[in-house]
Chain A
Amino acid sequence: MYYIINLAMKKIIITFLISIILTSNVSAGTDGENDLSKNSKTVKDCFESLNRGSFALNQGLDKVILKPVARAYRGLPSPVRTGTSNALTNLSSLITIPNNVLQGEFKTAGINTGRFAINTTIGILGIFNVADKMNFPEYEKEDYGQTLGVWGVGTGCYLVLPVLGPSTVRDTAGSFINVLGGDPWYNASTHGNNEFLDESDYILTKTLTAVDFRANNLETIENLEKNSMDFYASVKSLYLQNRQRKIMNTNATIEVIYRGNEGDWEEIENQ
């Protein structure tokens, strides 16, 4: 009992410390102004040399491991890939639902709970997307990094994490919340104390998520790399745009895409 209380206290203290660090980052870095009101140019690349080093390492790992595995995965029959992808998306609901609640999106939380219940039972562990056939609204993944963004926490510096890829200080903190009790799937598989699941199941699902993403984007990434003069800068731009769009919870509206950039289009009218 004492151990559990101690562990819970430890988690609360770590979460509190992360919140303090991020909140002070907002005040110092943005004069207290919500980061979303500015464009992605304000995201500083404070550790660029280090980031470029990690980026090169990740490219090497991608070339040797992830890309060949993704190609092999692509060779599997389409229903197998679709089923895997569906099951992984269904599992991600376990993080999405608490984040819907934390962002005050109670209706969406209810819909996603219904979707999860139907797909897990009738859809056999999410392999079949039955909810989709029942015309449920389009599913949007949420995570703790996005919730911190919605709460007005600043992005912090841009980071490239070895193996894990592009991130920011805020998104990295969000990922820590997963392993501090925020991800029910992590809790059940790693600390669940049951005979059906263990840590390897969690690692397997995370690995499969990465392989599935890579397999879906083989040509796109190859094309982008081939046609970029600075591939690192292109990936950084795309990552930050994508996060900005997700935090705004909108589907590519013009206000989000050109936030802070619209003036550029107006300016070139006169040149």
Chain B
Amino acid sequence: MSAKKVLTTISSLIIFFSCVGNAHSIEPDVFVQSTVNRAAKTLSGNLSKNERIEKLKEIAKETVDIRGIGLYSLGAYRNDLNDDQKKKYEKAFEHYFLKSFSSRLAEYSNPEIEVVSKKKINKNYTMVNSLLVATESRPAVKIDWRVYTKNPENLLIRDLIIEGLSLARTQKEEFASIINSNDGDIDALLKNLNNFSNK
């Protein structure tokens, strides 16, 4: 085999493997649009409310960093947790989050969201800007998505910013209020999370 052929084969192999390696990587804006499309399809389909909720939960588990949001929402209190409390908290938060997320979305029917632009914040995060299109009953709403891009093959949503207001930050301040009004007792938050999930 000539040197030229060897080089061509090696180059082809490098290109092939780099393509395979990137086969599942996806741009953050495409990821958001496809997630939104999946949710919209679920909401506009002929499913019962419970079926919709279960389907939305599945989508959330695949596309949202529930554990990360849970830790962020605890603020400085996360450093006070022992292993047992941390385990219990993560479990309770996931149930709470999935219920809250799916029941918020299940109320909407066929929401039309258009991804407008994206901006890389740093190596770990990209903000994707989108617009919830106006309807007869409400004006258009700006929605920004904080996408965690550390693993390009497994992008995850970490926050939604609606008209400049961060849902993760709101949740963090809500949790802090509950803990503070119970003299710093994190178990009180766990109790509230479990009560919400069992409602």
B100–A268 CB distance below 8 A: no
A216–B165 CB distance below 8 A: no
In the assembled complex, B57 has its CB within 8 A of some CB on chain A:
no
User: Main secondary structure on chain A at its contact with chain B?
Assistant: helix
In the complex, chain B residues 162-184 whose Cβ is within 8 Å of any chain A Cβ: 163-166, 169-170, 172-174, 176-178, 181
State A36–B146 Cα separation when bound (angstroms). 23
The answer to whether A78 and B136 touch (CB under 8 A), given A230-B174, A233-B177, A257-B164, is: yes
Chain B: residues with Cβ within 8 Å of the partner, total of 39
Inter-chain contacts of B33 with A (CB < 8 A): none
The answer to whether A234 and B170 touch (CB under 8 A), given A241-B164, A265-B158, is: yes
Inter-chain contacts of B181 with A (CB < 8 A): 230
B173–A251 CB distance below 8 A: no
B173–A256 CB distance below 8 A: no
Residue ID in chain B nearest A85 by CB atoms: B139
The answer to whether A229 and B68 touch (CB under 8 A), given A252-B142, A254-B121, is: no
* Stretch of A16-24, A57-65, A219-227 with 4 or more beta carbons under 8 angstroms from chain B: A219-227
Residue ID in chain B nearest A257 by CB atoms: B166
Q: Total A-B pairs in contact (CB under 8 Å)?
A: 84
In the assembled complex, B32 has its CB within 8 A of some CB on chain A:
no
Inter-chain contacts of A241 with B (CB < 8 A): 164-166, 169-170
In the assembled complex, B72 has its CB within 8 A of some CB on chain A:
yes
Partner of A227, one of B104, B166, B169: B104
Q: List 16 A-B contacts (CB under 8 A).
A: A229-B174, A229-B193, A230-B177, A230-B181, A230-B192, A232-B177, A233-B173, A233-B176, A234-B174, A241-B170, A251-B164, A257-B161, A264-B72, A264-B75, A265-B125, A271-B71
**Ranked 10 nearest A-B pairs via Cβ:** A252-B164, A233-B177, A237-B173, A268-B71, A233-B174, A237-B170, A245-B164, A227-B100, A229-B192, A257-B166
- A223-B107, A226-B103 known; 10 other A-B pairs, CB under 8 Å? A41-B173, A219-B138, A228-B174, A234-B170, A234-B174, A237-B174, A268-B71, A268-B72, A268-B78, A271-B71
